Structure 1
Amino acid sequence: MKFRDGMWMTAEGFNVEYAEETYEITQTEKGLSLLCPTRKIFTRGNTLNTSTVTIDIEAAAEGIISVETTHWAGAQNRGPHFELFPDGKPAVEAKISSDEAAGTTTLSAGSLSAVVTNPGEQHAFDIRFRGAASSSSSGARESESDGTRHLTALLGRSVGLAYSPAWSNAMQTGDMRDFSHYMFTQTQLSVGETVHGLGERFGAFNKVGQSVTLWNADGGTSSEQAYKNVSFWLSSRGYGVFIDHPGRVELEVGSERCTRVQTSVEGQRLKWFLIDGPTPRDVLARYAMLTGRPGTLPAWSFGLWLSTSFTTSYDEETVRGFLEGMRARGTQVDVFHYDCFWMKGFRWTDFVFDAERFPDPKAQIARLKASGLVSKVCVWINPYIAQHGAAFREAAAKGYLLRRKNGDVWQWDLWQAGMALVDLTNPAAVAWYKACLATLLDVGVDALKTDFGERIPTRDVAWFDTSVDPERMHNYYAFLYNKVVYEALQARHGNNEAVLFARAACAGTQRFPLVWGGDCESTPEAMAESVRGGLGLGLCGFSFWSNDIGGFEGSPQPWIYKRWVAFGLLCSHSRLHGSSSYRVPWTIDADDPSDQGCSAVLARWTAVKTRLMPYLFAQAAVAVQGGLPLSLRAMCIEFPDDPTSWYLDRQFMVGDSLLAAPVFEESGEVQFYLPQGSWTSLFTGQVRQGPGWFTETHGFDSMPLYVREGTILLLGKKGVKGIVYDYEADVEVCVFQGKPGGWSSSSAAAVVDKSGKKLGTITVGEDGELQGTDVLRGAWSRSAVDALRL
């Protein structure tokens, strides 16, 4: 939302008032409170007929400071509110100091400080934020003369309030029913600074120059809309900003004033947290502490998931035929997913299997698992309840559905006829919904795909919890929905065995993994969109992410399908899923039997991921602990001092040590960038020296997959089928330009078992010999890099 018409004029239809000076500073228990009038105060008379903005700056945790701006403090602060510090708020000391010579007052929260210009004759408004000194030589994060790093600032006319429509007489604001009221702040952008994150966004990776609206929507992957709007962004200068507002947030990222990021919300308050680095890893670790660390996922979820697809026709015979066909062509499926039509049409979601196609679902699922064709089963659900199912009648009668203000159940015909929405602010409705989910778990369901949850109404609605604001519930509903389903799965399967496959999300939803990228087209451009979406979401604390291999809409050409298979099997989680066409490989290319056919390529890349599991599962634990993406991990997380890394949106890291560059051209040509150091191709053993750009051409059975210098990579036994096996047994230990000793991630390998328990760490000693191998079992071996083949 733009409040200005260029540099000099206010946008048509708005009154805009800015905090013009810091008139008074009051020390509080947690920090500083600034009284900032919207005109400069030269005489006592200037204090009359003048609005003020109160700015409360507080130490929230070590390296985290909150900034809250308020116009009218008497306005209700309605919920819902993000669950902050869910694992407990750490103690922090708010240190306040004054520098009379400089005319400033400073609040410090560990490494982070806010420096405020004192009231005085200059009538100044100036708040500067400084972070911990960095050892980096990067010009993007140069140190100040006092050893701190300049992060950002709130300078003149950067904090304020706005009315729409514009009023001509202040008396009109006595009745605010005819006005919208906004609060905004503008943080300074430095020269060359880039901005990333804000959820799973499919446009340009660097958000500078973009107008971004944080409002969950079912918009596919080819628009400015997003399923997962997360009010957090990461700066290349080594800090992050979390906006503590679950409703609509409008951002102008260098798009109204080129040197500022403007954040605006409707209401009387705007609060955000500034999070210090200096590295992206540091920022994400603190952000995870603030909004919650990702949940831990079981090993089986990392395997290949096969879906029935959306509108296709299927029954038990179809399902078994798919799985037998996959096995016959060399691919083991770990999870089978039943999409929408496991239920009858016009009855989604009533939790009842279509009796005509699935007369005995419990027995069918048991037969599938007993056959070894699949180990786990997932089914599709959503929080919408169509009126033609028995679930609707019960929920409506008992008051479990969202209502209109006149008491009617809120309904519409978009998606399902007469569908309603489960009111998750009603504890009784939550208990009922969990009981419905339990009926699915009773028949052998292991995971739940929590689809939809974006189209949450805000007008003419009355939530059971009258304290919540419908506008703030729109995005936040995704958090409640996924939390309820996750808790139901935890209650049945255990805390670390719950698995979602969710589409909608907001800040904090990373606690309930996992998510996938929504409805993409079957084109190389859509695959690139998916990469950008995964990269952005990974910079918002989400460790686990997937997408629809081959694309959701349309029917992929064989070459696109095969290139997407390679990309999809290097994501943390991998699923074959489509809309109106199947994604089993033999339907894509008329069952081409060659080693470059779809079936062979799928078997190849499934085997690659299976063999990588000793590495991937160990890295998953590191990702969860640090709030990091396992894959897709943006290059800037691992190489923040390389300026190029902040612009790379067609490649990613898989954990700490593997670099992957998907192929988007039918010819197999791909251009990619290697940061400084030695990099070894996992497939050929070829060593390249970075930094630099490289161009290669690949068949469908390979792609640029390079191993970082100093890596000790554990690979599972060749030929193993199924993603779950003993990750400490019969492994290959591969050393890539190994560095003697050391316990850094690049020269040590954690060994975990299939439950995720850490058994030990393998390093390379001064004599070049492996140390810590006593935790390995079976016929493990050390491989020479130049002989490595998968």
Structure 2
Amino acid sequence: MKFRDGMWLVAEGKRPEYAEEVYSLTSDDGKAMSLLCPTRKIFQRSDSLNLPTLSVDLRAEFDGAISIEVTHWQGAQNPGPHFDLYPEGKPETRNTKITTTDTTTTLSSGSISATVKTAGHDFDIRFHATNGSQKELTSLLNRSVGFAYSPAPSNQMVTGNMTNFQHYIFTQTTLSVGETVHGLGERFGAFNKVGQTVTLWNADGGTSSDQAYKNVSFWISSRGYGIFIDAPDKIELEIGSERCCRVQTSIEGQRLKWYILYGPTPKEVLQKYSILTGRPGNVPSWSFGLWLSTSFTTNYDESTVNSFLEGMKARDTPIEVFHFDCFWMKAFHWCDFIFDSKMFPDPKGQIARLKSSGLVKKVCVWVNPYLGQASPVFKYAASQGYLLRRRNGDIFQWDLWQTGMGIVDFTNPNAIKWYVSCLEKLFDTGVDAIKTDFGERIPSEDVEWFDSSDPKKMHNYYAFIYNKIVYEALQNRFGANEAVLFARTATAGTQRFPLQWGGDCESTPEAMAESIRGGLSLGLCGYSFWSVDIGGFEGYPPPWIYKRWVAFGLLCSHSRLHGSNSFRVPWLVDDNNKSEQGCSRILSKWTALKARLMPYIFSQAQESVRLGLPLSLRAMCLEFPDDPTCWYLDRQFMFGDSLLVAPIFEESGEVEFYLPKGRWTNFFTTGEETRDGPGWFKERHEFNTMPIYVRQNTILVLGQASETRTVYDYCKDVQVCLFQTMPGAKSSLVDSEGKLVGVLEVGDDGNLRDQEFLHGSWHVTKKETLASR
């Protein structure tokens, strides 16, 4: 939201007031300070009358983190929900101090400090590194903190009745020359957000708009800091778009709180962010295998499902998880958790037969938090108070998505118990994982939640409690590290409930690029695991797009074939082309490659969870923050810390990509084809390869060439590949449960040591790359 019309004029219908100076500063515990900031400069006593003030409170939260809260009227209520911060406990605040000079007061919290100018009549707060470099991160300068009315009141008397006005709090942090801004959830537009207006409000808008399923109030700067906005409300950001040199954050209400986190590297920023909002949850090794879906509106039954799985097996493509989408339930009955008896007369038996046949190991089903009134379950849930109500006591209903649809009120503990009991019945039937779809279109007006939560805050926050409930139900049934969601909606903190997928994309190369930008942005908000609908959700992918998307999709952390009104099995895409470049063979090859990479992938997954990092898609700037080019790269990514992946968007196979400084080895050549960065390179690929480059000084452990399983002994019969390694290079190996088995290390003689945990027919290759299967 813009409050000004250019630099000189106020926006039509708005009245902004700004903190003009720091009139007084108080501190009581050495860890915080409170600033009283009038909205005009105070030169004499009479200047203090008949004017608003703003309170600006700064607190040292933990090493490298300072919170800033701006308040206009402190008597305003602050109803929940509030973000669930410090889920693993708040660190002790060490190395905090307040120092003063004749003109400034500085609050230090370990590596970051905030210096407030206290002399003169200026408003000036600088955030900077505590060390001797005094590196300035960002600032709050003149006209950077304030509040605004809309419409503009004629005088203060009329604000006695605030029902006629909207009240906003805003801050504007400075943007330095060349600074870039990233994150803010799964955003499908330009990777660098400078110049954009971003609204943090969950919406079911597909991947081709500025709307987002996953709005996360956290952004990361190329200058080594991040900002987390501690509010699940609707947040408006003008990122170099109201003032080109500032990021404006505004929210409707009387207070705005955010945290500034100093790295100095982006990885360290994400580590600190994970302290605040939680680390990603662990996912089991089986979840990294290929998932196959029925697709959305397609017609299917047990025979259809079996034919697909048998077809995949005949084409050397193992399926780890089979997913039943919406129509496992009767039309108009979503989501009452009852299998359509006409199509699935024996669901428990069918699932048991699927698993015993060896065609699939796990089963997933689709759910959502809504309930159509056509189902008899609706009447029961309504009578028990499990559904969201309007202010007059009616059940909130609309005909959006499902006829007469109600929304489960997860602020009601009894509604949670009922919903979990429905999930447990699914688990009893043989279901192992849950796709938690929808949860974005939560009404914010004319509703009253069971616990009296603020409806506007609940709009985004609903994603957190919805996914938390289902994830914890899975954990309670299957174990802490065996729970897997396929979630679409998210907000800050839902990285704790993996995994997420990118929503409804079209079957076009442009949509694949949109999806990559979304995955990169979400990864920079601390999400380790992310997936996409391979081939695109909407439409009918031509064979070339399907095959290029297969290559990209199998190098996401998780891989799922899913569509809208058409199936995604390969032989239906290209009329069962059986050639080496046909869809079936290409899918088989990329699925096998991911299986071979599992020793590397699963080890990297544990590290990603520990540090709060994306496994894949990992933005290049996380691994190469000192390379300015890497902060703009949105068509390639890192898979873990050692593999660079550049998807292809052209039918011809032409691709251009960037390699940062260092020596890189082409994964798909049998010789020693290397490239030296930094630089841009062009290549042309058939469908069974694309640019995958291995970073120098990498120990890459691969399963044997014939491996097609996802879960196996990652220390047996493996190939240990040394890519341009130096003495001291290390690589951790874990077992299929994620437990550390050992650490491989290159000795001073250039050879591998610490090998005792490897067994079977394992072997070492040096400076060589591996041909595709």
1:441-473 Cα distance to aligned partner (Å, 9 max, x none): 00000000000000000111010001x110000
Q: Is residue 346 of structure 2 the alignment partner of residue 360 of structure 1? A: yes
Q: Is residue 694 of structure 2 the alignment partner of residue 711 of structure 1? A: no
- 1:63 maps to 64
2:157 to 171, 180, 183: 171
Q: Is residue 271 of structure 2 the alignment partner of residue 285 of structure 1? A: yes
Q: Is the CA contact (8 Å cut-off) linking 1:661 and 1:703 kept in structure 2?
A: yes
Q: CA deviation at 1:600?
A: 0.4
Give me the whole-angstrom Cα distance separating, in 2, the residues matched to 1:307 and 1:686: 38
2:730 to 739, 748, 752: 748
Alignment of 1:629-640 (within 5 A): 629-640=614-625
Give me the whole-angstrom Cα distance separating, in 2, the residues matched to 1:97 and 1:726: 54
Helix, strand or coil: the match of 1:68? strand
Q: Is the CA contact (8 Å cut-off) linking 2:67 and 2:258 kept in structure 1?
A: yes
2:297 to 311, 323, 326: 311
Alignment of 1:760-771 (within 5 A): 760-771=742-753
- 1:48 maps to 49
Q: CA deviation at 1:784?
A: 3.8
Alignment of 1:358-437 (within 5 A): 358-437=344-423
Give me the whole-angstrom Cα distance separating, in 1, the residues matched to 2:481 and 2:28: 42
What is the identity, as a one-letter code, of the residue corresponding to 1:257?
Answer: R
Q: Is residue 720 of structure 2 the alignment partner of residue 733 of structure 1? A: yes
Give me the whole-angstrom Cα distance separating, in 2, the residues matched to 1:108 and 1:752: 40
Give me the whole-angstrom Cα distance separating, in 2, the residues matched to 1:232 and 1:532: 16
Q: CA deviation at 1:163?
A: 0.3
Q: Is residue 524 of structure 2 the alignment partner of residue 535 of structure 1? A: no
- 2:511 maps to 526
Give me the whole-angstrom Cα distance separating, in 1, the residues matched to 2:500 and 2:61: 29
What is the identity, as a one-letter code, of the residue corresponding to 1:268?
Answer: Q
Give me the whole-angstrom Cα distance separating, in 2, the residues matched to 1:510 and 1:132: 30
Give me the whole-angstrom Cα distance separating, in 2, the residues matched to 1:341 and 1:461: 30
Alignment of 1:570-589 (within 5 A): 570-589=555-574
1:79-104 Cα distance to aligned partner (Å, 9 max, x none): 10001110000110473433425x11
1:128 to 103, 126, 148: 126
Helix, strand or coil: the match of 2:248? strand
Give me the whole-angstrom Cα distance separating, in 1, the residues matched to 2:407 and 2:108: 45
Q: Is residue 503 of structure 2 the alignment partner of residue 502 of structure 1? A: no
Q: CA deviation at 1:359?
A: 0.6
1:235-265 Cα distance to aligned partner (Å, 9 max, x none): 0000000000001000000000000000000
Task: Give the structure-2-normalised TM-score.
Answer: 0.99
Give me the whole-angstrom Cα distance separating, in 1, the residues matched to 2:314 and 2:620: 38
- 2:681 maps to 694
Q: Is the CA contact (8 Å cut-off) linking 2:668 and 2:769 kept in structure 1?
A: no
- 2:464 maps to 479
What is the identity, as a one-letter code, of the residue corresponding to 2:675?
Answer: R
Q: Is the CA contact (8 Å cut-off) linking 2:97 and 2:109 kept in structure 1?
A: no
1:515 to 474, 481, 500: 500
Q: Is residue 219 of structure 2 the alignment partner of residue 233 of structure 1? A: yes
What is the identity, as a one-letter code, of the residue corresponding to 1:730?
Answer: D
Q: Is the CA contact (8 Å cut-off) linking 2:204 and 2:213 kept in structure 1?
A: yes
Give me the whole-angstrom Cα distance separating, in 1, the residues matched to 2:283 and 2:129: 34
Q: Is residue 542 of structure 2 the alignment partner of residue 557 of structure 1? A: yes
Give 5+ residue unaligned stretches, structure 2: none
Give me the whole-angstrom Cα distance separating, in 1, the residues matched to 2:727 and 2:281: 34
- 2:73 maps to 72
What is the identity, as a one-letter code, of the residue corresponding to 1:715?
Answer: L
What is the identity, as a one-letter code, of the residue corresponding to 1:568?
Answer: G
- 2:205 maps to 219
- 1:665 maps to 650
- 2:3 maps to 3
Helix, strand or coil: the match of 2:232? coil
- 1:612 maps to 597
Helix, strand or coil: the match of 1:366? helix
Q: Is the CA contact (8 Å cut-off) linking 1:132 and 1:277 kept in structure 2?
A: no
Q: CA deviation at 1:721?
A: 2.5
2:246 to 233, 249, 260: 260
Q: CA deviation at 1:787?
A: 5.7
Give me the whole-angstrom Cα distance separating, in 1, the residues matched to 2:61 and 2:724: 43
CA 1:132/1:529 → structure 2, altered by over 3 Å: closer, same or farther?
farther
Q: Is the CA contact (8 Å cut-off) linking 1:554 and 1:581 kept in structure 2?
A: yes
Misfit runs of 4+, over 4 Å:
none
Give me the whole-angstrom Cα distance separating, in 1, the residues matched to 2:481 and 2:749: 40
Q: Is the CA contact (8 Å cut-off) linking 1:59 and 1:94 kept in structure 2?
A: no
Percent identity over the alignment is 67
Q: Is the CA contact (8 Å cut-off) linking 2:443 and 2:459 kept in structure 1?
A: yes
Q: CA deviation at 1:595?
A: 0.2
Give me the whole-angstrom Cα distance separating, in 2, the residues matched to 1:693 and 1:566: 21
Give me the whole-angstrom Cα distance separating, in 1, the residues matched to 2:563 and 2:98: 60
Q: Is the CA contact (8 Å cut-off) linking 2:666 and 2:694 kept in structure 1?
A: yes
- 1:493 maps to 478
Q: Is the CA contact (8 Å cut-off) linking 1:653 and 1:659 kept in structure 2?
A: yes
What is the identity, as a one-letter code, of the residue corresponding to 2:63?
Answer: E
Q: Is residue 306 of structure 2 the alignment partner of residue 324 of structure 1? A: no
- 1:645 maps to 630
Q: Is the CA contact (8 Å cut-off) linking 2:665 and 2:769 kept in structure 1?
A: no
What is the identity, as a one-letter code, of the residue corresponding to 2:706?
Answer: G
1:182-228 Cα distance to aligned partner (Å, 9 max, x none): 00000000000000000000000000000000000000000000000
- 1:744 maps to none
Q: Is the CA contact (8 Å cut-off) linking 1:402 and 1:461 kept in structure 2?
A: yes
- 1:36 maps to 37
Q: CA deviation at 1:773?
A: 1.1
Q: CA deviation at 1:497?
A: 0.3
Give me the whole-angstrom Cα distance separating, in 1, the residues matched to 2:98 and 2:540: 64
Q: Is residue 109 of structure 2 the alignment partner of residue 109 of structure 1? A: yes
- 2:93 maps to 92
1:264-308 Cα distance to aligned partner (Å, 9 max, x none): 000000000000010001000000011000000000000000000
Helix, strand or coil: the match of 1:575? strand
Q: Is the CA contact (8 Å cut-off) linking 2:553 and 2:559 kept in structure 1?
A: yes
Helix, strand or coil: the match of 1:79? coil
1:730-758 Cα distance to aligned partner (Å, 9 max, x none): 100000001112xxxxx211111111111
Q: Is residue 770 of structure 2 the alignment partner of residue 783 of structure 1? A: no
What is the identity, as a one-letter code, of the residue corresponding to 2:303?
Answer: E
What is the identity, as a one-letter code, of the residue corresponding to 2:367?
Answer: I
Helix, strand or coil: the match of 2:597? helix
- 1:722 maps to 709
Q: CA deviation at 1:788?
A: 2.5
Task: Give the structure-1-normalised TM-score.
Answer: 0.97
Helix, strand or coil: the match of 2:485? coil
1:107-150 Cα distance to aligned partner (Å, 9 max, x none): 011001000001x3x211100001255xxxxxxxxxxxx42211
Comparing 443-452 with 762-771, which one deviates more in the overlay? 762-771
Give me the whole-angstrom Cα distance separating, in 1, the residues matched to 2:135 and 2:427: 53
Give me the whole-angstrom Cα distance separating, in 2, the residues matched to 1:100 and 1:758: 51
Comparing 106-115 with 21-30, which one deviates more in the overlay? 21-30
Q: CA deviation at 1:720?
A: 1.9
- 1:209 maps to 195
Helix, strand or coil: the match of 1:774? coil
Give me the whole-angstrom Cα distance separating, in 2, the residues matched to 1:99 and 1:630: 44
